[in-house]
Amino acid sequence: MTDISTDIPAARVAARTGAAVTAVLPAAADGGPEPLAPAARLWPALAAVYRAQLSRARVARIPLLFVATFQSIGIMVLMRGVVDGGTGGGGEARAVVAGSAVLVVAFVALNLLAQYFGQLRASGGLDHYATLPVPGAAVALGTAAAYASFTAPGVLVTAVTGALMYQLPLGGLWVLVAVVPLAGAALAGLGAALGLLAPRAELATLCGQLGMSAALLLGVLPAWRLPEPVRWLRDLLPSSYGVDALAETFGTDPDWASVAANLAVCGVVGVVALALATWAYRRAALR
């Protein structure tokens, strides 16, 4: 199980949002408690949580990002023995490279975030966030955004390495600017929801591992080689639309309408997943 470090201090985020944390409420002149400090606005609070989580990720998650990237490159090396390179190989090479690149996002944004929130809930770490005068949406969205954006270097390294290994064109890699945040939002929202809704930390870890395994099996293997029932399951996986969008750009004549459609679906699923994560955080924080 991944070692989960302790959460950020409440005062750190409060200071960045300009809000105050009141430990003891002094009595007012009329004998009643003083009113609490006004809660921070959503966007400043979200930015503060994002920066704090990203600073933690740079220290604690870099070895894990290396593992995720090495794992994806290893899968491409193994698949190179059975999949022909080049754009004329029936699309298998494009599917393998695109699926392996997005797998980095699944490892960090889905698997690790599910473990993080699961452990945070089991250890009572959500109490740290409960002391902050910030909206619950800022906590859930800021943490998910930090984990998702942390995957960008690994996705880029994997995609470039795979394209060179399979002799695929590099001209369409600019689409990663859209694929990483959209697929990252969908998977991070799903991972946060799994971690917050799981009754035990062990179940959160299990759900995260199963989700990453699904992203591996259903994302790396070409869709047209899968049985029809399994293909239906693939359509339910949020990251599959990011995989299809990226795979299309490796062709000699990409269908940009298909790329845009897949990215749009991935974006819609991301909004739904983040809304689910926000609801799950509020539900867990009230328990």
The answer to whether residues 94 and 168 touch, using CB atoms and an 8 Å cutoff, is yes
> What are 27's strand-pairing partners?
33
Give the pLDDT score at 191.
Answer: 94
**pLDDT tens-digit map of 274-286:** 999 999 998 887 7
In-domain check, residue 29: no
Give the pLDDT score at 53.
Answer: 83
φ, ψ dihedrals at 97, nearest 5°: -70, -45
In-domain check, residue 247: yes
Give dist(CA 75, CA 237) in Å, integer: 20
Amino acid at position 224, single letter:
W
Judge if pTM exceeds 0.75: yes
* Domain enclosing residue 64, as ranges: 38-285
In-domain check, residue 160: yes
Query: Over the chain, what is the mean pLDDT?
Result: 83
Total domains present in the chain: 1
The answer to whether residues 125 and 146 touch, using CB atoms and an 8 Å cutoff, is no
Mean of pLDDT values over 71-84: 90
In-domain check, residue 220: yes
**pLDDT tens-digit map of 7-58:** 544 445 544 555 444 444 444 455 555 555 565 677 888 888 898 888 776 6
In-domain check, residue 137: yes
Give dist(CA 119, CA 35) in Å, integer: 33
CA–centroid distance for 210 within its chain: 15
In-domain check, residue 43: yes
pLDDT at 287 over 50: yes
Length of the chain equals 287
**pLDDT tens-digit map of 195-223:** 999 999 999 999 999 999 999 999 998 88
Neighbours of 124 (CB within 10 A): 10
Distances in Å between the Cα of 225 and the Cα atoms of 9, 64, 118, 212, 218 are 49, 31, 35, 20, 10
Give dist(CA 131, CA 124) in Å, integer: 12
Mean of pLDDT values over 216-240: 90
Helix axes 152-165, 176-197, angle to 10 degrees: 130
The answer to whether residues 141 and 278 touch, using CB atoms and an 8 Å cutoff, is yes
**pLDDT tens-digit map of 173-190:** 999 999 999 999 999 999
Count of alpha carbons within 13 Å of 76, Cβ hemisphere only?
30
In-domain check, residue 10: no
Give the pLDDT score at 52.
Answer: 85
| Burial (0-12, 13-18, 19+ Cβ within 10 Å), 236 | exposed
Q: What percent of the chain has pLDDT over 90?
A: 50
In-domain check, residue 2: no
> How is residue 206 written in tokens?
């299990």
> How is residue 224 written in tokens?
């047209």
